[in-house]
Amino acid sequence: MSTLISPHGADTLQPLFVDDDVTRAQLQTDAESLTSVLISSAAAGNAVMLAAGYFTPLTGFMNKADTLSVGHSMTTTDGLFWPTPVLNLIPDASELKVDQRIALRDPNVDGNPVLAVQQISAIEVLTEEEIDTLTKQVFGTTDRDHPGVAEFRLQGNTVISGPIQVLNYSYFETEFPDTFRTASDIRASIADKGWKRIVAFQTRNPMHRAHEELCHMAMQRLDADGLVIHMLLGKLKPGDIPAPVRDAAIRKMIELYFPPNSAMVTGYGFDMLYAGPREALLHAVFRQNMGATHFIIGRDHAGVGDYYEPFEAQEIFDQLPKDALKIELFKADHTAYSKKLNKVVMMREAPDHSKEDFVLLSGTAVREMLSDGIAPPEEFSRPEVAKILMDHYRA
């Protein structure tokens, strides 16, 4: 069995899901008599990521000091590298007190069942000035038109910190049984396959031909044994393609255009932050935790609109201390089909090309074509993938 890359800041994964059936059942019973707090979707996503081991070595929700420290220097107060706050923010804590155990209820599941039990270590308020500073540090902007900023500002300003015990994986395990995987699950699959060099690819969109070829390119250049396509299964902004459609399209592409047993299609339960560079760093942390040795970061990774420079998410890695992360980057340029070379290339590797030499289509143009039942050119999208997307747009 191969020795896998060690998790972030720990020797072993530290998932916060309560594995023991008896203990979990007892907690479930206890939770019914505890004070209930209906948490935000963002906090629920944090709980699921903590449960699944992706946020190793964190033991629960951050306090105010760690939150401000992460905002300012991307480290917790005890020096752990961490790029974004992991919070349970609520609007009002007048019913709560320190040392109390509370039942965190899931906003994303009918009936709001208990997702986790939290022991309250501290109840602290962020000032308006602190929220503004934190927003600017994490998202690079305070503009409320930014979907991540808008979502963050809706959650409230009271930080409820403390360790949590998580009872389930929200809707992710039931709605995506073939795709949702914990960090432990993925590590076990990698070990079973005997992979030693593993490339991770993040996606919140269907994968067009350029993405597919980028994965092939990364695997070839890194001499990788396997690829883990790891898709976000949580909330997106309006207009993004729903996870089940994305899942079907990606699986079809893997089935037809990748060698057998060279790629895994998996997903994780988290809402998109659209935090650009900071989110790219967070993506790297939890890819290391799931066992990947290399991580593809392309153009405008985790970006939205024009809030970030095209390669800002790559450049931020160059500013980290050497020991911050063990996972290595595969830095990718924009990839597109070259009419001159009849293949997909990284645009920076084709200096003799003009824009007209590439097949370039905007997201809006592709959506319009798919909505009209017109398949994008084969140089842009595999026909089998395009069909799944056309069916979605025309449903």
Note the CATH architecture for domain 180-393.
3-Layer(aba) Sandwich (3.40)
Distance separating alpha carbons of residues 300 and 258, to the nearest angstrom: 25
205 an active-site residue? yes
203 and 211 Cβ atoms separated by less than 8 Å: yes
Handedness of CA 182, 186, 192, 196 (dihedral sign): negative
Segment 232-249 mean pLDDT: 89
**SS3 for 278?**
helix
Distance separating alpha carbons of residues 47 and 124, to the nearest angstrom: 19
Sheet hosting strand 343-346, strand order edge to edge = 343-346, 335-338, 358-359
Domain boundaries, the chain: 21-173, 180-393
386: closest CA among 371, 395, 149? 371
pLDDT band at 331 (very low <50, low <70, confident <90, very high): very high
pLDDT over 80 (residue 298): yes
pLDDT digits (tens, 9 = 90+) for 51-67: 999 999 999 999 999 99
Q: What are phi and psi of 368, to 5 degrees?
A: -65, -45
Distance separating alpha carbons of residues 149 and 139, to the nearest angstrom: 7
The catalytic position among 197, 204, 251, 367 is: 204
Q: Are strands 198-203 and 328-331 parallel, antiparallel or unpaired?
A: unpaired
DSSP 346-366: EGGG-TT--GGGEE---HHHH
Q: Are strands 198-203 and 294-297 parallel, antiparallel or unpaired?
A: parallel
108 an active-site residue? no
The catalytic position among 157, 205, 251, 367 is: 205
Instruction: Check residue 1 and give its pLDDT.
Output: 42
Instruction: Supply the Cα-derived Rg of the chain in whole angstroms.
Output: 21
Segment among 73-87, 95-109, 363-377 with least mean pLDDT: 363-377
pLDDT over 80 (residue 2): no
pLDDT digits (tens, 9 = 90+) for 141-169: 999 999 999 999 999 999 999 999 999 99
CATH superfamily of 21-173: Sulfate adenylyltransferase (3.10.400.10)
pTM of the prediction?
A: 0.96
